[in-house]
Structure 1
Amino acid sequence: MTYAADGLAALEAQLQQDLEYLELPAKSWVPERTQDGAPVRDVVVIGAGMCGLAAVAKLQFTGISNVVAYDAAPAGLEGPWVTFARMETLRSPKSLHGPALGMAQLTFRAWFTAQWGKEAWQELDKIPKAQWMDYLIWYRKVLNLPVRNNVRINNIAFADDLIALDLSGAETGRIYTRRLVLATGRSGLGGFAVPDFLQGISRQFWAHSADDIDFSALKGKRIAVIGAGASSMDNAATALEHGAGAVDLLIRRKQMPRINKMTGIGSQGVVHGMHHLPDAWKWKFVDYTATTQTPPPRSSTLRVSRHANARFLLDCGINAVKEEADGLLIETTQGPFCYDFLIAATGFSNDFHGRPEFAAIAPHIRSWRDGRYQPEMGAPRPGLLEAPDLGPAFEFRELTPGACPLLAHIHCFNDAAMLTHGKVSGDIPAVSAGAERLVRGITASLFAEDVEQHYANLQAFDTPELQGDEWVDSTPLLNQENAQ
């Protein structure tokens, strides 16, 4: 492909003109506040991956300018794209507008075409994952988004009517904010989902698929990978491509899932209507898609099966894992197998009780288990029961009303919100709609909270539009004529 830097410059100029025409970002309107002599943020976003960037951009567009995003990763390594996402390309169609927030010049397609042209766009099949990361880096740069890297949130606390955050890394100390957005991605509020049979097994012999795995150290080794999802295939393929001696995919199901059900019904109705459905219907949709499972992409599966030393072991549930001197003995429904290393592609958990930074809020967070789920909805699937019960703007709800009122000022804009809000805060297709929903709610709540100040501003505003010389008062002449 021939690269055209001037094309990108032209796109950026057009984007800036569009923003000017649309009066974006809107003028700042949130009253300034201080705490202990330090300025208070209107909103802090934890996470500067795709969802975090979309949230910050929408906040600024809406005139909430005193906002910042913090990410523990170095710049350019936010999110999964060039870290633990080991696929070659995205599975999403290249034409999706993603985090563009309704602006054509902010789409991946505009960014790509400006540099490599329309013909290259037509030839592009799927988006290479590293190229998607390059696009997000450009998105952050062209919108001049306030992101601070290498900063970790160690603790969330409350001070008066504010949220206090304790930081470490490139920025340290305590800061205050009025609203907090958790844009923490696929791991949501918990972290890795680890099966019981791996509890107590030395990490020398296994890793989660989202770990930083040294695949070169697996050369010549016997590897087991749990699962039949996309991350299972991607990790198995990566191990094979790094020279693993043999890789077995241990798949509990009798058949590989083949149909991506939610893709088949994808529409704006799903995006905007799912979160308005009764709880029983929400549960029904999510439970069904979890039961049928999402198949791995065809290309990812072929990436594994083209290796002669790869095996797909179906109807192969794991009964027990035993640690031995030089590896693992895995007892399965297909018999015992010995491996040097195991990769658990077992997803993530919403169990936020295991995260020390959430220790102050975790006991107060209401989940679907706490009354929203009813037995008549279907089987009590654990992964759904632990999902947080969120309000209309992704805000947490209290387990005990009145015990932690400021919990409503913390917004769960990550994958854990799916059961309540649908897939608008984790995946590419509907992230703009999710950011819009989030920011509408934050905007309304901040305005209501400051309503007295806004009314005082209304009363104090005294810039006249009329100077008094635009007309002549005819009333005295009319009175004189009437007197005659």
Structure 2
Amino acid sequence: MTSHAERTGATLAAAAAPGGLAALEARLREDLAWLELPAPAWVPARHVDARRVLDVAIIGGGMAGLTASAELRLLGIDNQQVFDQAPEGREGPWITYARMQTLRSPKQLTGPALRLPALTFRAWYEAQFGREQWDALYKIPRTLWMDYLRWYRRVLELPVRNHARIVSLQPRDDGLIELDVAGLHGGNECVLARHVVLATGREGLGGPFVPEVARDLPKHRYAHSSEDIDFASLRGRRVGVVGASASAFDNAASALEAGAASVDLFVRRTELPRINKLTGIGSPGLVHGFVHLPDEWKWRFLHYAAQSQTPPPRDSVLRVSRYEQARFHLGSPLNGIAANADALQVQTPKGRYEVDFLIFATGFHSELDTREEFAAIAPHVRRWRDRYTHPEDLPNEELASSPDLDRNFAFQPRERHTCAALSRIHCFNHSASLTHGKLAGDIPAISDGAQRLARAIAAMLFDADRERHYAALLAFDTAELAGDEWTDADAIATDAGP
């Protein structure tokens, strides 16, 4: 039996009522007007060589980048630009390498709505498909979530520039940050910004992690789960998938649904994780309190969550296990992989297996040094391992490589009084988790994260321009009283005499 969540976005779109969405957009405009939002622009303009300097440049136009941009606009910071290398409407993972049928998050989470009811996914969905369809909806179909984000961008008129790839990010002596931006048709542009937000998603500051055992394999024989995989070419072939994450099962299912002859899942653990531990303590306390925890408690919380591991959704596992040609190999870390002319030989403690193609659903690393565009700042950025010594029984290299951020999501220097521009480069992605909690990439708390970030940037911009704001205070001379609204009783008595 096909669940409601598995129906295609196209089927639902066919039943859409355009008038409903127009009414929702009118309501949103009214709500914003009642709240006097967005605030009027207030940041003094800055120019260099007759060019306007951006107050904020946001790298990444996915959910995090859009939410950050929206909150900045609501706070009256209009001189901003979002850059994304993808074509319009294909930002983020949702219709690229995300291969689940539905989102993991419960449908009722408000996500990037910034506490505006008319901006929620539910409001957008009900406006088009009605309350009964919402009540019947199990989870949000992945492609519909992307449709919602496209609407979010359009209705808020967010300044996203597509086909814009950041080649380099360079701090300048005058405190500004210079971005070398490559466009679609060649030719680079130099963009100057006062603040830069790295809204680079789950990939964060690093990239896909592939274990050392695969380093010498022919590239046409394997792929990371975040890559563009031609699943149609796997029809009739033997596929191996490494990992037990949601992504592992989504990729395994995609291969099976494309007609793979078999899929072998190699799982290091002796059994699949079953409990999503952080869900059990989700609360406003966690959202707002994590950043204030002592370092040892931050490490303890995230180390335990990482060791417990997030289980794959039940639906994702069932999507694979219903195929007879799917085989689960638990307690099977990869001891070695050998490539011959016809196949890959995968060696585990339990045996040797032959596959034609391997998919590594092995997550991402956070090593800033591996990203060419960050080469100018990477040597200066302080990581947690540079400052904090974790308990010997709680090792975690991914946590250790996390940037040691300040309360504004900004980088900090390894050595004092070096690379001052780091305080204006904000890490609003998965790599911020150890400092701030999971506020910069996941749906549940993305609005809280964006509001913390945007308010911090607003405060920094005001402080940086305090002399100009003070001069404006002195110069302000719009009178609210004309001088004829009262009389001085003592002056009248003095004029009349004794």
In the aligned structure 2, how far is the partner of 1:313 from the partner of 1:380? 26
Map Cα deviations across residues 279-312 of structure 1 (whole Å, 9 max, x no partner).
1111111000111111100000000000000000
The code of the aligned residue for 1:154 comes to V
SS of aligned partner of 2:263: strand
Matched, 1:97 2:97: no
In the aligned structure 2, how far is the partner of 1:480 from the partner of 1:59? 57
The code of the aligned residue for 1:38 comes to R
Matched, 1:436 2:436: no
Matched, 1:64 2:80: no
- Of 67, 80, 86 in structure 1, the residue corresponding to residue 99 of structure 2 is 86
Map Cα deviations across residues 358-393 of structure 1 (whole Å, 9 max, x no partner).
0000011111101123336x4221111001100111
How far is 1:472 from its partner? 3.0
How far is 1:146 from its partner? 0.4
Matched, 1:250 2:266: yes
TM-score w.r.t. length of structure 1 = 0.98
In the aligned structure 1, how far is the partner of 2:201 from the partner of 2:399? 17
Map Cα deviations across residues 88-129 of structure 1 (whole Å, 9 max, x no partner).
000100000000000000000000001111111000000000
Matched, 1:164 2:163: no
The residue number in structure 2 matching 1:183 is: 199
In the aligned structure 2, how far is the partner of 1:273 from the partner of 1:354? 32
Matched, 1:12 2:12: no
Map Cα deviations across residues 324-367 of structure 1 (whole Å, 9 max, x no partner).
11221111111111111100000011001111100000011111
In the aligned structure 2, how far is the partner of 1:374 from the partner of 1:305? 39
* Range that drifts further, 117-126 or 314-323: 314-323
In the alignment, structure 2 segments of 5+ residues that lack a partner are: 1-11
Percent of residue pairs identical: 54
Matched, 1:479 2:479: no
In the aligned structure 2, how far is the partner of 1:358 from the partner of 1:327? 38
Matched, 1:199 2:199: no
The code of the aligned residue for 1:57 comes to A
- Of 267, 272, 290 in structure 2, the residue corresponding to residue 274 of structure 1 is 290
SS of aligned partner of 1:466: coil
Q: How many residues get paired?
A: 482
User: Does the aligned pair in 2 maintain the 1:179–1:410 contact within 8 Å?
Assistant: yes
Map Cα deviations across residues 8-59 of structure 1 (whole Å, 9 max, x no partner).
1100000000111111110111110011221100000000100000000000
In the aligned structure 2, how far is the partner of 1:81 from the partner of 1:241? 19
The residue number in structure 1 matching 2:141 is: 128
TM-score w.r.t. length of structure 2 = 0.95
Write the mapping of 1:327-406 to structure 2, written as runs, cut at 5 A: 327-375=343-391, 378-406=393-421
How far is 1:480 from its partner? 4.2
The residue number in structure 2 matching 1:418 is: 433
How far is 1:139 from its partner? 0.3
User: Does the aligned pair in 2 maintain the 1:367–1:386 contact within 8 Å?
Assistant: yes
* Range that drifts further, 262-271 or 147-156: 262-271
SS of aligned partner of 2:130: helix
Map Cα deviations across residues 446-476 of structure 1 (whole Å, 9 max, x no partner).
1111111100000010111112222234433
SS of aligned partner of 1:325: coil
SS of aligned partner of 1:338: strand
In the aligned structure 1, how far is the partner of 2:492 from the partner of 2:70? 59
In the aligned structure 2, how far is the partner of 1:332 from the partner of 1:6? 58
The code of the aligned residue for 1:390 comes to L
How far is 1:266 from its partner? 1.0
In the aligned structure 1, how far is the partner of 2:58 from the partner of 2:300? 31
User: Does the aligned pair in 1 maintain the 2:299–2:390 contact within 8 Å?
Assistant: no
User: Does the aligned pair in 2 maintain the 1:223–1:246 contact within 8 Å?
Assistant: yes
User: Does the aligned pair in 1 maintain the 2:175–2:420 contact within 8 Å?
Assistant: no
The residue number in structure 1 matching 2:331 is: 315
User: Does the aligned pair in 1 maintain the 2:171–2:419 contact within 8 Å?
Assistant: no
In the aligned structure 1, how far is the partner of 2:458 from the partner of 2:389? 30
How far is 1:140 from its partner? 0.3
In the aligned structure 1, how far is the partner of 2:167 from the partner of 2:213? 30
The residue number in structure 1 matching 2:62 is: 49
Map Cα deviations across residues 389-422 of structure 1 (whole Å, 9 max, x no partner).
0011110011111121111100000011111111
SS of aligned partner of 2:265: strand
How far is 1:166 from its partner? 0.4
In the aligned structure 2, how far is the partner of 1:191 from the partner of 1:472? 73
